[in-house]
Amino acid sequence: MSECLFCAAVAGSVSVNAVLSSATSFAFLDHRPVFKGHVLVVPRAHVPVLADLPETDVGPFFRDVQRLAAAVEVGLDAAGTFVAINNRVSQSVPHMHAHVVPRTKGDGLRGFFWPRTKYDSPEEAASYAARIAAALQ
């Protein structure tokens, strides 16, 4: 699907800070993170919502999400993570994606209120991506 931003990221035609590339999934930093180090994990194939993910891809996809949740904690010295998937409502890109958000006690995240922040520079974003990718090793 040529018009999908996430398909373009998977194809490499849109610049992103990638942290994981597997046979099933591709993961990169959210450009408008809830907290720095917020990762989006997308299926390589265009899949609009979770119900459309082929059954054979469910296990591999969620293993990648699981690995990234652990890597975000280790790589960013986070106390935990928040993992979420929106289906249609609040889904700004109609390509299924899991959010993996680093958490710390007292970080201000309440319920589903998602304040957004920015990276100070492209270099800072790249350093967050590198730390998470290194923790996957």
Residue 44 burial (CB < 10 Å; 0-12/13-18/19+)? middle
Both tokens assigned to 129? 């991506």
Q: Which residues, including other chains, have CB under 8 Å from residue 41's CB and lie 6 or more apart?
A: 20, 25, 26, 27, 61, 64, 65, 68, 97, 98, 100
| CATH superfamily entry for domain 5-136 | HIT-like (3.30.428.10)
Q: What percent of the chain has pLDDT over 70?
A: 95
- How much is the pLDDT for 130? 93
Residues catalogued as catalytic: 97
What is the distance of C-alpha 15 from the center of its chain?
15
| Site of tokens 């597997």 | 22
Instruction: Choose among 7, 23, 29, 5: nearest CA to 118.
Output: 29
Beta strands in 14-97 (DSSP E): 18-21, 25-29, 39-43, 80-85
Distance (Å, whole) CA 19 – CA 93: 19
- How much is the pLDDT for 35? 93
Residue 86 burial (CB < 10 Å; 0-12/13-18/19+)? middle
pLDDT in tens, the chain (137 residues): 458 999 999 999 999 999 999 999 999 999 999 999 999 999 999 999 999 999 999 999 999 999 999 999 999 999 999 999 988 888 889 999 999 999 999 888 776 666 678 899 999 999 999 999 999 88
- pTM reported for the whole predicted model: 0.85
- How much is the pLDDT for 49? 94
- How much is the pLDDT for 96? 95
- How much is the pLDDT for 114? 62
- How much is the pLDDT for 89? 83
Distance (Å, whole) CA 42 – CA 44: 6
